[in-house]
Amino acid sequence: MSLKTVKKINNIKNVYEEGTCYSKVEFGWNPQSVQWYLESEKNTSYYKKIINGLHPFIYDSKTVLDIGCGLGSFSIEFAKRGYSVTAIDKSLFAVETLLEKIRLMNLTNLNVVNKAFEEFTFYNNYDIVFISYMMGLVNDNNIIDILKRVNKRLIIVLPFRKVKNDFSIDELYMDLGVDLINLVQFNYVDMLDILNKRNYQYIINKVTAEFGQHFNNIDEAVNFIYHYFKLPIERSAGVRKWLYKKLTYNNGKLFLSNLRESMMIII
Ligand SMILES: C[S@@+](CC[C@H](N)C(=O)[O-])C[C@H]1O[C@@H](n2cnc3c(N)ncnc32)[C@H](O)[C@@H]1O
């Protein structure tokens, strides 16, 4: 499926993928969210910052496995630096979009597999296994098996905050009187608990980068908030009012800032 096709099916309602199977990673791509993500990744230094920060730990490695690669922004950064990359994701929308990017960039060292991690067969080990924003995927039960597949480094990127604050969403929840418990997420501290229990050695490094979103109009911004956050539909007037306060103008479009704070865990 080309990017054009993704755009074409943009209007078809209910064409979406639920992201909950096997693991606790909850993430669903649909044509609209693919477009939003493609737009925001064009304007962020987040991916470059993370891969540059990893350089001292990975420069002597050759192969990378990116589990839950999404639209492949990290995989592409690795591939551009010459690593031989295998990227896996269970979402067909994500994989098809990444394949199109690879074609346009003419990358020959990035191999994409449309599979859930739990169904992926390891024919060999990888110097680096890289897992970003896959909350709950690495857990007490599988950490030993995952580490067995790593020649040099297991790298896990997770949110810094325990209470999700992407796009300052915690402020909106408080404005609307919606319990912040709904924004509690698996964060890097939860992962460190798993590692500490087993006395694994690791290094942590925090990365902060703007990862905001542009919109054509306020309705699109409201749809965006409702796509990513489970808020009561009857509170949409409150959501709209909050967005009017938060949105700024940037490059001729509305812009919702998002200072993303992530922690890299290098094992
Ligand atoms: C939050 S996104 C993260 C994407 C990318 N790693 C990043 O940090 O930009 C999570 C991705 O994991 C994928 N995913 C969720 N569970 C998965 C599983 N069990 N196996 C493979 N991919 C999975 C989803 O389809 C989605 O693309």
pLDDT, tens digit, for every residue of 191-206?
A: 999 999 999 999 999 9
Substitution site in 37, 71, 89, 98 for ligand 1 pocket (most atoms within 8 Å of beta carbon): 89
Structural domains of the chain ordered from first start: 3-163+184-211+256-266 (3.40.50.150)
Nearest partner of 246 among 208, 218, 216, judged by Cα? 218
pLDDT for position 25: 52
Q: Provide CB contacts within 8 A for 226, sequence distance 6+.
A: 233, 236, 239
Atom of ligand 1 nearest to the CA of 66: 6
Nearest CA to ligand 1 atom 4: 70
pLDDT given at position 255: 98
Local structure of 79: helix, strand or coil: helix
The per-residue pLDDT for 104 is 97
For residue 50 and ligand 1, the question of a CB distance below 6 A is answered with no
From the CA of 98, how far away is ligand 1's center (Å)?
Answer: 13
How far apart are the CA of 134 and the centre of ligand 1, in A?
A: 6
Give me the pLDDT at residue 18, please: 39
Cα-Cα-Cα-Cα dihedral sign, residues 235, 240, 246, 247? positive
Q: For residue 224, which amino acid is it?
A: F
Say how many Å lie between the CA of residue 12 and the centre of ligand 1.
23
Quick one: pLDDT at residue 12? 28
* Intervals of the chain under pLDDT 70: 1-26
Statement: the pTM of the whole predicted model exceeds 0.85: yes
Closest atom of ligand 1 relative to the 26 alpha carbon: 15
- Tell me which residue of 9, 8, 46 sits closest to 211, measured CA to CA: 46
Q: Nearest C-alpha to atom 26 of ligand 1 is from which residue?
A: 70
The residue nearest atom 9 of ligand 1, judged by CA position, is 70
The tens digit of pLDDT for each residue in 44-80 reads: 999 999 999 999 999 999 999 999 999 999 999 999 9
